[in-house]
Chains A and B, each alone.
Chain A
Amino acid sequence: MRILLYISLVFFLGEKCIAQPVAQLEAGYWHFPIIDKIFRAYDLAHPWTEANVAPTGMGAGIALGWNQKIYAPRGLHAIGLAHYRYQSTSLKNAALPLRAGFHQACAEILIRSHPRCLLKDVQQTGPLGTRWYIQLGGGYSWNIPFASKYGERVYVTNSQKYRNITGQMHLTGGTGWHAISLGPLIVTLESTLTWYPHFSLDSFATAVLGHNEPRLSETARNSLLVQGHLRFTYRKKSKNWWDAPRTGDKS
């Protein structure tokens, strides 16, 4: 609830202060070998089942945020985003239904520009800077894992239903292209690569396997998320409060 309030506050301020709110649809591929290893261990532990747990793979998400022009002659823009991502996998076996995955809430800030703009000023850029751009940034994400067996949420310790929230930093980079303008909306296509130096899902192996397996670390190094984004940026016609003429302004 507190997180929701923070997010609402950020968006309220963003909407009031910043010209260009952003909404984004995401689809991506999670490359998390440690999670796959846990699923492979599950498969190994169930030699009597024909079906295997699908490895981590495609996931989806949405993001909301705002775009802030920083310095037009260099095409520099900053974008702040709050993401919600979802990844799950399941064992489709009537006798042993298993479902496991995680929700992820993430906050990040990205700086974007065109490489050439970094070398010299440009004469003209659009409302979102150069049409093609590269971006770099980072943030923090919280993982909310889940696992259920036979349709019931699993326990990891006595009486405790499994929901151990963990968090970690990440760095992200990518490139995109403002594809089309639809009235006040600018549609952008973007691909990003997110690097998690450490990614942890506390007790995930315990939840999936039903016991604490010491050979399976639950913190992975160098996990990656490759994503494609479809972003809609709203170009507001009204000026921001600081753009309005003030008493004493000469122009």
Chain B
Amino acid sequence: MNRRKFLHQAGWLAAGTCAIPTLFQSCKKSDWEQEGKFQGEVIIIGAGIAGLYAAEMLIAQGVSVKVLEASSFWGGRMRTFPIAPQTFQNAHHRLIKGEFSILTDLLRHQHISLAEKTGSSLYYFTGTLNNETEANQNSFFQDMLQAVNSLNTFDGADITAQAYFEALDVSTNVESVYNVLAGQVHGTSADRVSARGIAHQFNQWSSGEKEYVIDSDQLLAGIEKALPRVFDVIQYNTSIVSVDYTGNTIRLEDAMGASYACDRLLLTVPLQVLQSGFIAFTPALTNNRQNAFPRIGIDMCYCAMFKLQTAPWPLGTRQIIGGDLAQIFEVSDDGWVYAEVSGAQAETIASIFGDPLNIIQQEFEQLYPGAINQITESTLQQWQGNRSYDPVGVGDAREVIASSINNKIFFAGEATHLGGHHGTMHGAMETSLRAVTEILQGAGA
């Protein structure tokens, strides 16, 4: 090879080596734009965490967004006591599960400290309150805990958790405890949640194992600060009753008769709104979709909060489990009690003639006689739907609901989560990411 030839070949080699990476680099300047980013008008129904977060992402991408909210406040189910005095908001702590989630990212970015859940539990069974050491010495309790833990690997027939415990002959002495550990923590009771559903959720969980508690007020403040652009686009007291997606433009009508139009619609309303048929769709939703709504469980719920003059429980106690109807009480050292009752127990309370708050407080009186006379302030909130869970026969209902309609109507919200994070705030946010990705990329187009 002569010198000229060598220089010629070496030149091509060098040019090729330098140019090829640059060519590839130019291919990836913006994946969203490259795939034909959607630029039309989007209406989001619901200003819960799913709706707000979806709106922020869309606004950040330059999409025109409007959020229609039926109530007069944002936050949806994040606000357990929306109409209660501020003291209840401040005293109430929310549980955040998992250290690796979008929600923890959001809060960390706002420099909001996340305190790991600490403290001990008391268990009420066989008529006495037991601390953890005492409870663990009880053979009924040990068997029950083993049965609850074994649910995580359950792969048998589609039965309820209650049926599973009965099959294992778990003592009814600790029924209220397992009803909390396998039912109430999922927003229902053990006789409704599917054993396979619990195992599925456990095995799909991918947000880490840590649990944090955060002041409810601080949580809302963090969200408000992190999503600053959405609050200008929320229209409150707007309850959508009909959706017509016959043409290219989707037409909505609210309960007052006002009309709205958009190119894409994102529904983030709670599942029970869809189940109730409150929103009429034209053309009607497919039978497959309509049948999927009731296959996902979501139960009514009472959230009661009251303050005792002094805390009768040992310092450092964070929850008291046990009771007939109200079975889980979160407590603080300064005397606050928060009780959440879902599922069959909530429906029983609703069916009893009397004030539900009083019934829940009477339940607490069983654990600490005389406590009811110590109450200085209290409030109650009733929710038509707590959070979704997998009942027996859920099948592919979540997949059906999560799918879009004609690439025009999209669904988000914790009930549409497909990866085991349903029933959580960060799960709701993750479904928004899915829906926004679909809107931006044109799912199914």
Residues of A whose CB lies within 8 Å of any CB of B are 29, 31, 33, 36-37, 40-41, 44-49, 55, 57, 93, 95-96, 131-132, 149-150, 152, 154-159, 175, 177, 189, 191, 193, 203, 206, 209-215, 224, 226, 228
- Identify which of A46, A155, A191 contacts B105 (C-beta below 8 A): A46
A213 to B28, CA, bound (A): 21
Taking A96-B109, A157-B204, A210-B102 as known contacts, 11 extra A-B pairs with beta carbons closer than 8 A to each other, sorted by chain A number, are: A36-B28, A40-B32, A44-B60, A44-B436, A57-B25, A157-B205, A159-B209, A177-B13, A210-B100, A211-B426, A215-B443
Whether the pair A41, B433 counts as a contact (CB closer than 8 A) is: yes
Instruction: Tell me the complex Cα distance, A226–B57, Å.
Output: 34
Contact status A31-B27, CB under 8 Å:
yes
Contact B24 A31 (CB under 8 A): yes
Q: Are A48 and B227 in contact (CB under 8 A)?
A: yes
Check A210 against B101 for contact (C-beta < 8 Å). yes
**Closest chain A CB from B403 CB (angstroms):** 11
Identify the closest chain B residue to A212 (Cβ): B419
Q: Specify which chain B residues have a CB less than 8 angstroms from the CB of A215 in the assembled complex.
A: 434, 437-438, 443
Chain A residues positioned under 8 Å from B109 (CB to CB): 46, 48-49, 93, 95-96
Closest Cβ–Cβ distance, residue A189 to chain B (whole Å) = 8
Q: Does B206 contact A (CB under 8 A)?
A: yes
A214 adjacent to B98 (CB under 8 Å) = no
> In this assembly, does B120 line the interface, its C-beta being within 8 Å of a C-beta of chain A?
no
Are A211 and B101 neighbours in the complex by a CB distance under 8 Å?
A: yes
- Give the chain B neighbours of A57 by CB distance below 8 A: 25
Check if B373 is an interface residue, CB within 8 A of chain A: no
Total A-B pairs in contact (CB under 8 Å)? 135
- The A-contacting residues of B in range 400-425, CB under 8 angstroms, are 418-421
Q: Which residue of B lies closest to A148 (CB)?
A: B100
- Name the 5 nearest CB pairs between A and B, nearest first: A212-B419, A29-B21, A47-B60, A31-B24, A191-B17
Among B17, B25, B60, the most chain A Cβ lie within 10 Å of the Cβ of: B17
Which residue of chain B has its CB nearest to the CB of A30? B24
Q: List which B1-57 residues lie within 8 A (CB) of chain A.
A: 1, 6, 9-10, 13, 16-17, 20-21, 24-25, 27-28, 31-32, 56-57
Query: Measured between C-beta atoms, what is the minimum distance from B149 to chain A in Å?
Result: 12
**Are B1 and A152 in contact (CB-based, < 8 A)?**
no
- Contact A158 B202, beta carbon cutoff 8 Å: yes
In the complex formed, the residue of B with least CB distance to A175 is B13
Contact between B208 and A154, CB atoms less than 8 A apart: yes
Number of residues on chain B facing chain A (CB within 8 A) = 56
Q: Does B106 contact A (CB under 8 A)?
A: yes
In the bound complex, CA of A93 to CA of B27 (Å)? 26
**Quick check: A214 and B419 within 8 Å, CB to CB?**
yes
Residues of chain B lying within 8 A (CB to CB) of residue A191:
13, 16-17
CB nearest neighbor in B for A33? B28
- Measured between beta carbons, the chain A residues less than 8 angstroms from B202 are 158
A-B contact pairs, 10 of them (CB 8 A): A44-B433, A44-B437, A96-B109, A132-B6, A155-B206, A155-B207, A158-B202, A159-B209, A226-B17, A226-B24
Contacts of A33 in B (CB 8 A): 27-28, 31
Q: How many whole Å from B411's CB to the nearest CB in chain A? A: 14
- Residues of A within 8 Å of B207, CB to CB, are 155, 210-211
Contact (Cβ within 8 A) B17 A211? no
- With a CB–CB cut-off of 8 A, which chain B residues contact A49? 109
Q: How far is the CB of B100 from chain A (nearest CB, A)?
A: 4
Closest to A46 in B: B105
CB distance B20 to A193 under 8 Å?
yes
Which of A55, A203, A214 is within 8 Å of B28, CB to CB? A55
Q: Does B203 contact A (CB under 8 A)?
A: yes
- Name the A residues within 8 Å of B61 (CB-CB): 44
A residues less than 8 Å from B420 (CB atoms): 212
- Asked if B9 contacts A132 (CB within 8 A), the reply is yes
Question: Considering the chains assembled together, what is the distance between the CA atoms of A241 and B347 in angstroms?
Answer: 87
Q: Which residues of B contact A36 (CB under 8 A)?
A: 28, 31
* Among A45, A149, A157, contact of B206 (Cβ-Cβ < 8 Å): A157
